[in-house]
């Protein structure tokens, strides 16, 4: 039986290509721009190449959302392939116009119904929703049922991260000047999180060690409530630190499934190299 619902996301979910192929997930890339050179992340430039290039660049790169025509062409192709519906799942609409662009493109295409889902996050937490949606679509769920289940998942999804250099977030407009000045003056390592789709400080901590310990403590509070959780350590060109954090979590919470992912070019532009994050989610239905 042919699947009726297509699943679309953008590159900031950072889902490996083999997994996208396995679950028939369509991906629309965002762009990272160095001077006059524009690269589609996950297509024209690898994450390793990006961090190497950023380290050598005189100016910080910029980012841009996909062109509306990219979405229009994709939705038209999916309609031609016989799909009846699309669920398009994107990074927070508070940090990128990608979600709104996808919805605007949907209004320009006939013959297929497009439903949007704003994850209000990015990176691997965004990927959680995409993979769940793909599994549901494969099982025959309609778009309405998929959106309903993804909305339910938001109740237990958490993501916290710590940046090495606040300047990246400030220059990208994701952190106010006042927050930057206070952070730099106090030499603090703020724990950041998404609140209603925006990146905001969660707590101010003086050292990286204390910041990471606090994030693990937040995971512990949720795990203590019962149920099964899976977690992802996310890093910006800092594999060693990610592996150490993953080992800590495995030792303390043997029942929590732990994976390692990364902040790719677009998100890495705003967070900067050296950043570490931890996201977790309760298994759906528990």
Same domain as 163, residue 278: yes
Same domain as 133, residue 105: yes
Cα–Cα distance for residue pair 46/43, rounded to 1 Å:
7
Predicted local distance difference test score (pLDDT) of residue 95: 92
The mean pLDDT value of the chain amounts to 91
Number of domains in the chain: 2
Residue 257, domain CATH: 3.30.1180.10
- Helix (H, G, I), strand (E, B), or coil: what is residue 261? strand
| Band of pLDDT at residue 97, cut at 50, 70 and 90 | very high
Same domain as 148, residue 190: no
Same domain as 134, residue 16: yes
Angle at CA 128, nearest 5°, toward 222 and 96? 105
Predicted local distance difference test score (pLDDT) of residue 163: 82
Angle at CA 175, nearest 5°, toward 170 and 176? 95
Last residue of a domain, which of 152, 169, 191? 152
Q: Which residues pair with 279 in a beta bridge?
A: 159, 232
What the block records as the tokens of 122 is 């990015």
Angle at CA 15, nearest 5°, toward 10 and 21? 95
- The values of phi and psi at residue 141, to 5°, are -70, 145
DSSP-derived secondary structure letter, 45: B
185 belongs to a structural domain? yes
Task: Give the neighbor-by-neighbor strand order of the sheet with 229-235.
Answer: 198-205, 189-195, 158-162, 276-282, 229-235, 257-262
Same domain as 176, residue 128: no
pLDDT for 40 beyond 50:
yes
Percent of the chain with pLDDT over 90: 78
Same domain as 250, residue 198: yes
Last residue of a domain, which of 152, 176, 196? 152
Predicted local distance difference test score (pLDDT) of residue 169: 55
Q: Tell the burial category of 204 from Cβ atoms under 10 Å away from its Cβ (0-12, 13-18, 19+).
A: middle
Residue 142, domain CATH: 3.40.50.10170
pLDDT for 270 beyond 90:
no
Same domain as 208, residue 125: no
pLDDT in tens, 167-221: 655 555 545 554 544 545 446 777 889 988 888 888 888 888 999 999 999 999 9
Exposure pattern of 21-32 as b/e (b: 16+ CB <10 Å)? eebebbbbbbbb
Residue 133: closest CA among 256, 228, 24, 267: 24
Same domain as 219, residue 128: no
Same domain as 190, residue 144: no
83 belongs to a structural domain? yes
What the block records as the tokens of 274 is 């050296």
Same domain as 163, residue 143: no
Same domain as 227, residue 251: yes
173 belongs to a structural domain? yes
Last residue of a domain, which of 91, 126, 152? 152
46 belongs to a structural domain? no
Predicted local distance difference test score (pLDDT) of residue 280: 97
Predicted local distance difference test score (pLDDT) of residue 185: 46
Cα–Cα distance for residue pair 253/251, rounded to 1 Å:
6
Same domain as 142, residue 10: yes
19 belongs to a structural domain? yes
50 belongs to a structural domain? no
47 belongs to a structural domain? no
- Domain hosting 232: range is 158-282
| Band of pLDDT at residue 132, cut at 50, 70 and 90 | very high
278 belongs to a structural domain? yes
């Amino acid at each position: 039986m042919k699947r009726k619902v297509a699943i679309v996301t953008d590159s900031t979910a950072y889902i490996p290509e083999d997994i996208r192929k396995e679950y028939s997930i369509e991906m629309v890339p965002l762009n990272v721009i160095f001077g006059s050179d524009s690269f589609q992340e996950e297509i024209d430039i690898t994450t390793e190449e990006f961090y190497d290039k950023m380290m050598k660049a005189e100016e910080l790169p910029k980012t841009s959302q996909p062109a509306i025509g990219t979405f229009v062409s994709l939705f038209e192709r999916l309609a031609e392939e016989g799909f009846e519906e699309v669920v398009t799942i994107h990074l927070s609409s508070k940090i990128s116009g990608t979600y709104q662009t996808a919805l605007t493109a949907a209004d320009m295409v006939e013959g297929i119904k497009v439903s949007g889902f704003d994850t209000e996050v990015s990176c691997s937490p965004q990927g959680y929703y995409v993979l769940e949606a793909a599994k549901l679509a494969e099982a025959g769920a309609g778009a309405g049922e998929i959106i309903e289940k993804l909305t339910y998942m938001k109740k237990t999804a958490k993501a916290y991260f710590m940046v090495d250099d606040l300047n990246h977030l400030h220059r990208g407009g994701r952190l106010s000047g006042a927050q930057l000045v206070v952070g730099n003056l106090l030499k603090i390592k703020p724990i950041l999180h998404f609140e209603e789709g925006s990146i905001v400080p969660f707590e101010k901590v003086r050292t990286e060690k204390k910041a990471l310990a606090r994030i693990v403590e937040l995971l512990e509070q949720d795990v203590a409530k019962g149920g099964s959780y899976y977690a992802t350590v996310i890093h910006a060109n800092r594999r060693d630190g990610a592996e150490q954090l993953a080992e800590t979590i495995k030792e303390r919470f043997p029942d929590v499934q732990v994976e390692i992912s990364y902040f790719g070019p677009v998100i890495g532009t705003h967070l900067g190299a050296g950043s570490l994050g931890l996201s977790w989610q309760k298994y759906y239905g528990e």
